[in-house]
A and B are shown apart, each in its own frame.
Chain A
């Protein structure tokens, strides 16, 4: 059917263009777009206004679009230098606005016997729609700081929903401190799952990876239940960091937040983390628990 319409549009362009059916002309346009630009085409195709029968006669094939002019009309009236500056601003004001966002995804206290624990996950980014600089930090502690890292990444939007990242990660705890190269991806998967994945290569040559997922279940306009999960894996044993090869640690949490404003939402929840396999055995040898479940009270905020 479409082929037929196309053939008709090519053979009898003027009637096809003139009729009311807005579907009719599409193919004619495509054909026109493929034709070489002929600056004189318009003379043949467009009947003069004086021709009273213009609507009835069979006109020439669809005209090609004219060449794209490179001059600026207002330069003929106003000082070209001033126009050039205004033109640059016009372009900036229509699509080029760097913007920033800083977000505490979690910032929480984990009450415990002895010293309460605390933990955070934060990220901040700045840039345009496609190219952004992103800083991330996460960590946790109790009486002491157990784990703290900062990542500095270049993030590039590569599809409507996903971004790729490349950069560095610096760990401050645990010690000995490591520096890593990072490759990552994050974005929104079907069903609105927020996903993130990173692979890390340390300055000692160790490879590891992390997967994260979160989901906002909107109970009411302000009350949101958020499951979050994280999995870490290591390609090799890193004894000095207490890591065994394979899956190392996992976290899963359920947080119920109340959005006083979208950007300010205190929450309560539960958080469970565990170590797996050789990493768990290493922890037990060191006298630590391989699993831990805590209540959490915290704040999710951004600006």
Chain B
């Protein structure tokens, strides 16, 4: 591999790598414009997403073949057409397809992945959830400089764990255009949740409206994509809130129908790149244990996933094994992954439904013994409404009504670190721990629904120390101005990092002062979600903080470097809900 004209990395790589990994971790090598590999160029020019990777094609028998594996992997980022139920749109593809190729690696190996940029703008790949050295984490301006047009960057890192993950661009809004794909890391030892067959279910959202225009519209009129607001006609028909409640909410300038910012009015919801009409189908043989590796790669959509007639046994969350727990429906927030095992015994088709949490649309797929079979697609359920609990006002915990809330929110003395201003619409007056709550809209469904408190890590948590300190971070926003931030300040305003001592153990509490869900992702670490199962807290890379609620996680800051910490509602992140976590010192013994 040639090294081109780009200035080579300067420092001793061992400075940035943890002791013990030094032999395996080398710095990224950048290739100049003239040094592009021919093989990569050939891969890049496939040009259309029509020929999907084998695992993503309808009728696939599963993941038996077609993954990129081994010691050397080449990826190329370029423009491509995306086909959504027959309509062609513009996309950004990895190796020409949306989603991109499945990368399958084995715990213990070293990954060397050369990424060539065929776009006319910078790009990047972030290995979402993978524990990698900071300089391989793929956030331009934080972990590395980004990959310029024509350049190749070689990511190199040891594969330190197993699980289902995914990778995506961290440059601009490229992920919204299709720059995402799944990763499966096979365990070095025995698979704790064995299966006969496996499928990857990559859920995503796609709009024919350019991402920048989505953002513009939300700034111009934050309710732009919500075409199911409460109306007078609905009031007369006895739908939605009664008049008194509507008046109370109007007084507070809060809209209970504001569940997702971008909705099915513009989004198509995809399974493995297929629209609902295309009906992606994964095959099974009756009686098999079929593992579904579900990834939510959507930019702005939380999905509720169910397979009518098939209970799902959840065996992994965010790539970390959990005690098997059976459920009928699960809510998967942006960037989360869930592995479930289903056991279809009949020779029949099943529909996998992934409803957008606001019920404005759905992604649909079929599991069937043979291609061409299908099962009924359940109609969209009634659009949910937010409640006072979503406003940080838990009725059960406090007798007050809407009016009380207004007064308390204004007083806001409970959050001294939040910078008050136009971007902070409210401070949750009584934020409740909502890890035991069903996700938005699932409160009343008549079957089992997975909640965070159902998740118990299969293995004991690796670090048994109690936290030595606590940190509270508020998720703030103003839905009227589409402003989103941590503690009231956007990243562009305050680029100052959140500091951690290397190897210190900290309990971080996230308080959601908004009425939206915020799936918060910390790079470079698994956090232990505090959900009542001390010692076996589920380890996650992304935790969804429900509206008006709070959630705590324990963090062992064992990864020196600078790490991104952000909301994975990508337009919230783009609006400023992003911070840097700095773990120091970079070298030497732990603090």
Contact = CB atoms under 8 A, between A and B. Distances in A.
B509 interface: yes
Contacts of B229: 218, 221
Interface in B443-472: 463-472
A45 interface: yes
B5 interface: no
Interface in B182-228: 215-216, 219-221, 224, 227-228
Contacts of B575: 94-95, 97
B27 to A, nearest CB: 6
Interface stretch (B339-347, B384-392, B477-485): B477-485
B422 A54 contact: no
- Which range contains the number of A residues in contact with the other chain? 35 or more
A157 B424 CA distance: 12
B466 A67 contact: no
A97 B578 CA distance: 14
B490 interface: yes
A62 B252 CA distance: 38
B141 A89 contact: yes
Given A55-B465, A77-B11, A93-B574, A87 B220 contact: no
A220 B551 CA distance: 38
Residue of B135, B422, B470, B491 contacting most chain A CB atoms (<10 Å): B470
Contacts of A28: 469-470
A22 B434 CA distance: 11
A188 interface: yes
A33 B469 CA distance: 10
B584 A69 contact: yes
B16 interface: yes
A45 B586 contact: no
Interface stretch (B44-52, B269-277, B322-330, B500-508): B500-508
B550 interface: yes
B496 A68 contact: yes
Nearest to A162: B422
A251 B465 CA distance: 69
A73 B561 contact: yes
B134 A157 contact: no
B481 A160 contact: yes
B472 A191 contact: no
A219 B236 CA distance: 10
B1 interface: no
A14 B550 CA distance: 22
Nearest to A90: B141
A42 B574 contact: no
B250 A79 contact: no
Contacts of B378: none
A269 to B, nearest CB: 17
A218 B231 contact: yes
B264 interface: no
A83 interface: yes
A283 B221 CA distance: 40
B578 A94 contact: yes
Interface string B494-537: 01110111011101010000000000000000000010101000
A130 B575 CA distance: 13
Nearest to B496: A68
A68 B470 contact: no
Nearest to B230: A218
Contact of B576 (A86, A94, A188): A94
Interface in A11-36: 14, 17-18, 20, 22-23, 25-26, 28-30, 32-33
Contact of A190 (B135, B146, B232, B250): B250
B582 A160 contact: no
A63 B28 CA distance: 36
Contact of A99 (B220, B247, B496): B220
Nearest to A75: B11
A83 B490 contact: no
A73 B143 CA distance: 8
A284 interface: no
B120 interface: no
B145 A83 contact: yes
A7 to B, nearest CB: 17
B224 A54 contact: no
A99 B530 CA distance: 40
A192 B229 CA distance: 14
A159 B144 CA distance: 37
Contacts of B252: 190
A91 interface: yes
Interface string B525-560: 000001010100000000000000011100000001
B470 A47 contact: no
A278 to B, nearest CB: 38
A115 interface: no
A11 to B, nearest CB: 16
Given A29-B472, A45-B469, A65-B471, A160 B478 contact: yes
A77 B16 contact: yes
Interface string B84-101: 000000000000000000
B466 A18 contact: yes
Contacts of B562: 72-74
A26 B7 contact: no
A101 interface: yes
A207 B362 CA distance: 58
A85 B346 CA distance: 59
Contact of B530 (A14, A22, A101): A22
Given A54-B464, A89-B140, A95 B470 contact: no
A218 B233 CA distance: 8
Given A95-B491, A161-B480, A221-B227, A65 B576 contact: no
Given A43-B591, A68-B497, A69-B497, A94 B145 contact: no
A66 to B, nearest CB: 5
A74 B142 CA distance: 7
A262 interface: yes
B366 interface: no
Given A25-B509, A94-B576, A78 B9 contact: yes
A158 interface: yes
A50 to B, nearest CB: 11
B464 to A, nearest CB: 6
A152 B537 CA distance: 57
A129 B481 contact: yes
A90 B465 contact: no
B499 A17 contact: no
B348 to A, nearest CB: 38
Nearest to A40: B591
A73 B560 contact: yes
Contacts of B466: 14, 17-18, 54-55, 59
Given A69-B499, A161-B480, 16 more contacts: A17-B469, A26-B509, A32-B469, A62-B468, A76-B16, A77-B27, A79-B7, A86-B144, A90-B141, A92-B492, A94-B576, A94-B578, A99-B219, A130-B422, A192-B250, A219-B231
Q: What 7 pairs between A and B have smallest CB-CB spacing?
A: A95-B576, A90-B141, A95-B490, A95-B492, A96-B492, A18-B466, A29-B470
